[in-house]
Structure 1
Amino acid sequence: MLLDIPKTERVDFNGGYGVIKVDTFNQRIKIVAFEGDIAFLLEKIEIIAKKVNAGKIFYIGGEADIKVFKKNNFIMEAKVYSFLKGEPGYFLSKFLKQERKMSLYVPEEEEVLIRSRDYIKDNYEYIIYDKYEIRDACEEDAEQLARLYKSVFETYPSPMNNGEYIKYAMKNHVYFKVITYNNRIISSASADMDPENYNAEMTDCATEVEHRGQGLMGRLILELEKEMRRKNYNVFYSTARSISAGMNIIFAKHNYEYGGKLVNHCHICGGFENMNIWVKVL
């Protein structure tokens, strides 16, 4: 049983309803959709949040949603162009705990961002050596992928150390590419597809330590983008740890634009961290 998968719930209130995802591992609640007065829905959500110890509520809405959410103490953390059927998507968040909205490494994260932007105009060299093979992942790779993610991340926002979860993801619009060395998976990344809005999140990026620094992840991102284009997806985005230069630089090199910072959004590498959003619109 996959207990760490966020649970989707319907919340009814006077005059409307909402659909939410309760993510106990990341201690956050996402509003997926709603009809009616958002203030009444939030009253219900905050009761649920106390029960599950959630410190953050967020919603990805259009420009028309900004005013009413700000009136209910949400702030805009990021903007992704063409995210919602060609219209911009705004990441709106409300923090329920003071410590959840505190950023501990602001100067260091700003340095990472400055360094990353220096690479935006660089031409990315897609080096691949004869000793490596790039291919699509399949369900038979699930346990090997789980071992890779477990070795790379102390904690991860989704249960990628669980082979059954990876199989579940593959059956639910998540497309994986891997690189093998001597027939063993040493690097992987995925595209999490939203078939309704035709955007895809480049995510689940992991490479064994001894194979880093050879451009492997950059090549995986390129191959994922090619496949998404074939599937008619034209908006790509990713969230990268704000404190870690590596993935931020990779997305800057691939001509992704910085879209904002999600504060303490994910439990990764042992604790809550800020995540930078990068976006590319074709």
Structure 2
Amino acid sequence: MTKSYKKLQLSTSDYYLELFLDYFNQRLRIDHYRGNMTRILQEISHISEEDFCEKVIFYTRQEHWQQLLSHGYELEGVISGYFSGTDNFIMTLYTKNERRTSQHWVKENKILEDIKGKGLNNMNEKPIPNEYIIRKAEVGDTKQLADLYGKVFQVYPTPMDDPKYVEHMIHDGNLFYLVEYQNEIVSAASADVNMINHNAELTDCATLPAYRKHGLMKKLLMDLEKDLRKNGIFCAYSLARALSFGMNSAFHQLGYQYQGRLTNNCYIYDKLEDMNIWRKDLSS
């Protein structure tokens, strides 16, 4: 099986780079950088010429995003407080026109308008039924978790349907919370914690279709938030499928702020999709 991604560190006398080469989603992401920006951009330009790369995503500090703008990058979104309290300006560059063009942008805008038009509901008004158990996941849950992700998503940007990959994520410090019904895992979500920049991405949100009427995902996300606060992580964010009314509504109801949309960001559900950025300050 071909490896779907590779993490790469480049260090020279001019700069230091931490890169995520995402072969499955045909993109290159710059997660961390320091040094000579001219040299850095030259190196990124060289790597982006490789066949796999259709999109470059540069997690940029406030003092550099306008410099990237002058090199053809564009601002697709912001994650406030991402870098230990300072903002992440998500700059992108496309190497193919078809990757730059979204087929669903207007529909996705309408979904956002409808969600925001509904206002905010009382999160405590709908307790989940007693027979549903919410708990933190353990290594012994990896087989069932992988089965859940395999059932919910035809396509997913990471191999979450592989029990060994899920086990690796848990050992690597990712927090997973799940919902059990009659000893079956019917819903789950995780937090990918970045201890260097003191943030966490809420991700891997999945609920079996038959169990989506109880608001399980909101409860899972709230438990993840509590866990993050206890560990001193106050910047929480998520990338939600822009075409999913349910997931975007859940983040809006939980007080997350919409901060942009990443065009044709990854292969998820059944195709290449745009992803909405949602962010919340857990310290308030």
Closer, same or farther: CA 141–30 of 1 in aligned 2, 3 Å: same
More deviation, 191-200/244-253 = 191-200
Quote the residue 1:85 is aligned against: 84
> 1:174: how far off?
0.8
> 1:55: how far off?
0.7
- Between the aligned partners of 1:55 and 1:8, the Cα distance in structure 2 is 17
Q: Deviations over 1:19-73 (max 9, x none)?
A: 3110001111111233444444344434433434211111112210112111211
More deviation, 27-36/110-119 = 27-36
The two structures have a TM-score, normalised by structure 1, of 0.93
Contact 1:239 1:277 (8 Å CA) reproduced: yes
The two structures have a TM-score, normalised by structure 2, of 0.93
> 1:251: how far off?
0.4
Contact 1:127 1:219 (8 Å CA) reproduced: no
- Between the aligned partners of 2:266 and 2:229, the Cα distance in structure 1 is 28
- Between the aligned partners of 2:88 and 2:15, the Cα distance in structure 1 is 23
Quote the residue 2:202 is aligned against: 202
Contact 1:119 1:253 (8 Å CA) reproduced: no
2:148 is the counterpart of 1:148: yes
Secondary structure in 1 matching 2:204 = strand
More deviation, 205-214/45-54 = 45-54
RMSD between superposed Cα atoms in Å: 1.8
Closer, same or farther: CA 74–138 of 1 in aligned 2, 3 Å: same
Q: Deviations over 1:230-258 (max 9, x none)?
A: 11211111111111111000000001110
- Between the aligned partners of 2:9 and 2:59, the Cα distance in structure 1 is 17
Aligned pairs for 1:64-213 within 5 A: 64-124=63-123, 125-213=125-213
Closer, same or farther: CA 276–56 of 1 in aligned 2, 3 Å: same
Which ranges of structure 2 fall in alignment gaps of 5 or more residues? none
Quote the residue 1:27 is aligned against: 26
Secondary structure in 2 matching 1:170 = helix
Closer, same or farther: CA 46–62 of 1 in aligned 2, 3 Å: closer
Contact 2:21 2:28 (8 Å CA) reproduced: yes
> 1:178: how far off?
0.4
More deviation, 174-183/30-39 = 30-39
Closer, same or farther: CA 88–238 of 1 in aligned 2, 3 Å: same
Quote the residue 1:10 is aligned against: 9
**Given residue 212 of structure 1, which amino acid in structure 2 is its aligned partner?**
R
Q: Deviations over 1:161-196 (max 9, x none)?
A: 111110111122210000001111010001111112
Quote the residue 2:227 is aligned against: 227
Which ranges of structure 1 fall in alignment gaps of 5 or more residues? none
> 1:2: how far off?
8.3
- Between the aligned partners of 1:114 and 1:94, the Cα distance in structure 2 is 27
Secondary structure in 1 matching 2:129 = coil
- Between the aligned partners of 2:38 and 2:194, the Cα distance in structure 1 is 28
Contact 2:32 2:59 (8 Å CA) reproduced: no
